[in-house]
Chain A
């Protein structure tokens, strides 16, 4: 039953996420704690300064006690293994602590708030690109499968091989040089013009700023989808049930778009989305080239500033999104493939 399948998959995803966060804690606990200690020291300064009418000895005692208290509250005084577990728990409950150097647009220092702010722009950018990549890629792939071995297929395959190892961020640099510098058509970065306009003009402004990043992403990445679509559809077109459908007098259109595509849909959707999902997380960095205020850009900033709290928080969120994405794809696949829907194992 689909429900059982769905439930199992979700639980699986959760389990994997927990294990991964645990592994991260093990890896990064030393660094995280260093940051935490530094933050505690920093917070002790102003507190100590506020004690005006106390002797040096009293201040000293206060600082020591306070430090011990704060350490205890952050579980820094526990043995190593317990500390790792506490860190894991913190990560899982999205308690990432505070940033030292970065502030959110509202001046907050909470790492979670900072990260949360960057998620919508990333989602917006990549969702748009993915939709376009799928549309263009599947269209091209079908055309290639229909005319397999001929000119269109061969030339498209060559281009696919050429862009296979192309770093998207480098193409971004080139396009900026071409279309934002040499021919100033597009803006070279950011999400809004300064000062940002209002209303409808604001939406257009954002689209304008999003154009070049999206063009870059789509231009480099849709070829992979096309190749996948081509191979899957071509494989299916050689199956017996396709020639049987033709023998039954069905039109070529019904055979292609009805039987072939419908059978191709489950593997195609999942494999395409899977590769696109991976490419999203592989390309997230390229936001920095455009200073597009998303998660990728935050990576740049937090690394440049050496703000490990934000960096680690970002990693946790990124991983979480990825695991969720994979689970989501499996759920979609289950819906599309009747063999899973009706319960017979594929």
Chain B
């Protein structure tokens, strides 16, 4: 692993709805190291997708970044205007594989022409003068890399299966060789077999092209497969950050654990407990009672408190995210 290629400090992102501002990302800080795969886990609505799109500064309105900074390759992207973002950041430094790739491709253009368009748009940087033939060659090379025959380029999106579309989108995300690729639920909508294939492809590509990845998902099992380090998000905040082995080595039940020997934040532990294992006897499916908090008016104190089985009076004060063991951060009074 190298130095930090993305540094996020105190990021705040809000959606200005009719009922008031929804604080989707509420003070998030983390680092992505070069060559690392950072996994981002959490329930639906915890802010992980918003965080992902923020890294490219492509927020869906009415979203706005209201605070903090995002440094990509030493460049503070929040200080750039739209034009600069388009020319320097999007797809050149950071690219994204969106949730539901089926809908990432415009239905009226062939796959190849859309890839070509992206390529031509960024001609300046990666390929100083790309003729159509050269562009075609690049496209075919990357299609091959993701395991697709080159004539896919002549097809329209509706003629491809879900898995094929997903691969196209991955190829498109890669061919400008950005520093970082953000993948948002890239396999969720696919069946298990295709899922496994895609994951393997991703891992292979990461190895070959030496990519840094941010892998967003709610599925812990997938995360276990790909992530080097895992960030757990809850209610717009990061509640735990630890290496893969630490998190997934959590043994035993119980909502609190010893740091260094497994996940220690109660939310993480309950998430893990709720995932049935192949080799365990499952008596009753464990679940986390209650619902995620309303991000319009977050409560004071620890946000997980209403659902936490081990909450105590100290939890009325908001626990900060701090290091509880080497390389292991958690936001919980019970952790170290």
Q: Which residues of A pack against B, CB within 8 Å?
A: 239-251, 254, 258-259, 262-263, 265-266, 337-339, 342, 344
**Which has the most chain B C-beta neighbours within 10 Å: A242, A338, A342?**
A338
Name the contact of A259 in the complex, choosing from B86, B95, B103, B109 (C-beta under 8 A). B109
Q: Does B105 contact A (CB under 8 A)?
A: yes
Q: Does B162 contact A (CB under 8 A)?
A: no
In the assembled complex, the Cα of A254 lies from the Cα of B122 at a distance in Å of 13
**Which has the most chain A C-beta neighbours within 10 Å: B90, B104, B122, B159?**
B104
CB–CB A239/B103 < 8 A: yes
Instruction: Say whether, besides A248-B90, A263-B107, A339 and B158 are in contact (CB < 8 Å).
Output: yes
CB–CB B108/A248 < 8 A: no
In the assembled complex, the Cα of A247 lies from the Cα of B106 at a distance in Å of 13
CB–CB B121/A339 < 8 A: no
Closest beta carbon of chain A to B120's beta carbon, Å = 10
In the assembled complex, the Cα of A337 lies from the Cα of B92 at a distance in Å of 32
In the assembled complex, the Cα of A251 lies from the Cα of B108 at a distance in Å of 18
Closest beta carbon of chain B to A249's beta carbon, Å = 4
Q: Report B56-114 residues with CB < 8 Å from chain A CB.
A: 56, 58, 60, 86-87, 90-92, 95-96, 98, 100, 103-109
How many chain B residues touch the partner (CB < 8 A)?
Answer: 28
Complex interface: chain B residues within 8 A of A248 (CB): 90-91, 95, 118, 121, 172
Main secondary structure of the interface of A (DSSP, over half): helix
Complex interface: chain B residues within 8 A of A241 (CB): 103-107
Chain B, residue nearest A339 (CB): B158
Q: Does B248 contact A (CB under 8 A)?
A: no
CB–CB A250/B106 < 8 A: no
Chain A, residue nearest B172 (CB): A248
Closest beta carbon of chain A to B151's beta carbon, Å = 14
Complex interface: chain A residues within 8 A of B90 (CB): 246-249
Name the contact of A342 in the complex, choosing from B95, B117, B121, B156 (C-beta under 8 A). B156
Chain A, residue nearest B100 (CB): A240
Closest beta carbon of chain B to A41's beta carbon, Å = 63
In the assembled complex, the Cα of A263 lies from the Cα of B96 at a distance in Å of 23
In the assembled complex, the Cα of A346 lies from the Cα of B146 at a distance in Å of 28
CB–CB B159/A344 < 8 A: yes
Name the contact of A263 in the complex, choosing from B58, B98, B108, B158 (C-beta under 8 A). B108
Q: Report B103-159 residues with CB < 8 Å from chain A CB.
A: 103-109, 117-118, 121-122, 156, 158-159
| Given A243-B98, A259-B106, A338-B156, 12 extra CB contacts under 8 A | A240-B98, A241-B104, A243-B58, A244-B105, A247-B58, A247-B91, A247-B98, A249-B92, A251-B86, A263-B107, A265-B108, A338-B158
Closest beta carbon of chain B to A138's beta carbon, Å = 17
In the assembled complex, the Cα of A22 lies from the Cα of B222 at a distance in Å of 66
In the assembled complex, the Cα of A145 lies from the Cα of B100 at a distance in Å of 25
Chosen A-B contacts, 22 in total, with CB atoms closer than 8 Å, are A240-B98, A240-B104, A241-B107, A242-B106, A243-B98, A245-B106, A246-B58, A247-B53, A247-B58, A247-B90, A247-B91, A248-B91, A249-B118, A249-B121, A249-B122, A258-B117, A262-B108, A262-B109, A263-B107, A338-B107, A338-B158, A342-B156
Complex interface: chain B residues within 8 A of A250 (CB): 86, 117-118, 121
In the assembled complex, the Cα of A316 lies from the Cα of B129 at a distance in Å of 61
Complex interface: chain B residues within 8 A of A251 (CB): 86, 121
Closest beta carbon of chain A to B154's beta carbon, Å = 10
In the assembled complex, the Cα of A249 lies from the Cα of B90 at a distance in Å of 5
